[in-house]
Amino acid sequence: MVKNTGWISFKCFYDKYGHLVPVEGEQDIPFQIKRVYYIYSVDDGVRRGFHSHNKLEQALICIHGSVKILVKNPYESENILLDDPTKALYIGPMVWREMYDFSSDAVLLVLASGHYDVGDYVRDYSKYEKAALNYFKRGENEGNEHTVCNF
């Protein structure tokens, strides 16, 4: 997977009464949850995101429907389908992301490690590229506290 991204799988409790998936900060996901938001009713053809974060860590869970996520850095990229409410896509710092192909019934739930901070966003791709080329240079940031891969 692209560096600073990874899959997280949750336990699902199901019986004849339905399904239940618990998600606990610092236990099921590798950070304390400071903020939750969700995205839904996204029109056909809409693409969102187009930014990276300097510090923020997030877990993206498509709890209904499906959505695709492009994650990339200057060295590698991947298109990921989210369509399973028992799995989260972890996205750490310095990863460019775009969300697209939302199904009309998609609900994308996001758990975030920090409060909303407009100063943490990098929305200019050329600025992002410059910073990320350095950040990911020769795997220097491999294995640091933010790197989570393949839970």
CB of 22 to ligand T46, least distance (A): 22
Candidate residues 48, 86, 122, 147; the one interacting with ligand T46 per rule CB under 6 A: 48
**Contact call for residue 37 and ligand T46 (CB under 6 A):** yes
**Contact call for residue 38 and ligand T46 (CB under 6 A):** no
Give the contacts of 51 (CB within 8 A, at least 6 positions apart).
Answer: 96, 97, 121, 122, 123, 128
Q: Residue 5 or residue 58: which is nearer to ligand T46 going by CB?
A: 58
Residue where the block lists tokens 């239940």: 20
Find the catalytic residue in 51, 53, 115, 146.
Answer: 51
Q: Residue 40 or residue 151: which is nearer to ligand T46 going by CB?
A: 40
CB of 80 to ligand T46, least distance (A): 12
Q: Is 51 a catalytic residue?
A: yes
CB 5 within 8 A of CB 91: yes
CB 80 within 8 A of CB 71: yes
Candidate residues 62, 97, 102, 113; the one interacting with ligand T46 per rule CB under 6 A: 97
State both tokens at 149: 């891969």
Number of residues that bind ligand T46 (CB under 6 A): 10
Q: Residue 35 or residue 68: which is nearer to ligand T46 going by CB?
A: 35
Collapsing DSSP to helix, strand or coil, 151 comes out as coil
Question: With CB under 6 A as the contact rule, which of the stretches 1-9, 34-42, 74-82, 143-151 interacts with ligand T46?
Answer: 34-42
Measuring CA to CA, which residue among 87, 42, 72, 60 is closest to residue 132?
72
**Exposure string (b/e) for 123-149, b if CB count within 10 Å is 16 or more?**
eeeeebeeebeebbeeeebeeeebbbe
Q: Which residues are catalytic?
A: 51
